[in-house]
Amino acid sequence: MALVLALAPGTALAEPLRLVALGDSLTQGYGLPQEQGLVPQLQGWLRAVGHDVIVINAGVSGDTTAGGLSRLDWTLADRPDAMIVALGGNDLLRGIDPAASRANLDAILSRLETKEVPAMLVGLSAAGNFGPEFQQAFEAMYPDLAATYDAVLYPDLLAPITARYRAGEDLGDLMQEDGLHPSAAGVEEIVEAWGPAVSSWLRTIEASEE
């Protein structure tokens, strides 16, 4: 005998929230087995605390803010319910003028606002390699743009690693041999620190859709 589940008129099965992570190699999971990358670990963490969410990996290794902007429409074609914007690391490594990076992120957030896609902007801390003015301009663009577009801000994706670096502690267990990309253990620490902020943001989105 077949078991038939009848839905009341107007009732639909809830679908998982589709969260796109637009980023570079840090998002893409460079140098790690797929299941140990940032997106799978974040998805697992969010599901473990009760979110019905699919985190879609839109990270491209080597991408700058300009690259992220250039593929934004293609990414939006996936019809996300929300988007994490985690770009700027390669701009920083290449010493790209922060004014150009700011303009690209501004255009991304403006487009998301137009499309009514909630955004979380994820920043990075900058070392002083290119001078204090560069450092200040780079770090300031994230909170400035988040405030302009009412986006949720997470100031530093690499916060646990940054904290240990500034404390003069060894980073060997958290970083891959290239010294640029986190190891699986490093990603785990990043997600443990970042997860609560993402979870809180998603709960506001989920509540608004009820």
Q: Is residue 201 part of a domain?
A: yes
- Mean pLDDT value of segment 149-158: 97
Question: What residues contact residue 88 under an 8 Å CB cut-off, 6+ apart?
Answer: 65, 101, 105, 123, 124, 138, 141, 142
Q: Give the pLDDT score at 79.
A: 93
Q: Give the pLDDT score at 8.
A: 43
Q: Is residue 10 part of a domain?
A: no
Domain holding 161, by residue range, is 17-209
Q: Scanning the structure block, which residue is given the tokens 């302009």? A: 148
Q: Is residue 101 part of a domain?
A: yes
Q: Is residue 12 part of a domain?
A: no
How many Cβ atoms sit within 10 Å of the Cβ of residue 33? 9
Q: Is residue 7 part of a domain?
A: no
Whether the pLDDT of residue 61 is over 50: the answer is yes
Where residue 149 sits, what CATH number does that domain have?
3.40.50.1110
- Mean pLDDT value of segment 54-82: 96
Q: Is residue 9 part of a domain?
A: no
Q: Give the pLDDT score at 209.
A: 78
Token readout for 84 is 């994490």
- Which residues participate in catalysis according to the annotation? 25, 178, 181
Question: What residues contact residue 174 under an 8 Å CB cut-off, 6+ apart?
Answer: 160, 161, 164, 182, 183, 185, 186, 189
Question: pTM of this prediction?
Answer: 0.92
Going by pLDDT thresholds of 50, 70 and 90, the confidence category of residue 76 is: very high
Each residue of 99-130: pLDDT tens digit? Answer: 999 999 999 999 999 999 999 999 999 988 89
Q: Is residue 183 part of a domain?
A: yes
Count of domains for the chain: 1
Whether the pLDDT of residue 165 is over 80: the answer is yes
Q: Is residue 184 part of a domain?
A: yes
Whether the pLDDT of residue 155 is over 50: the answer is yes
Per the DSSP assignment, residues forming a β-bridge with 175 are 182
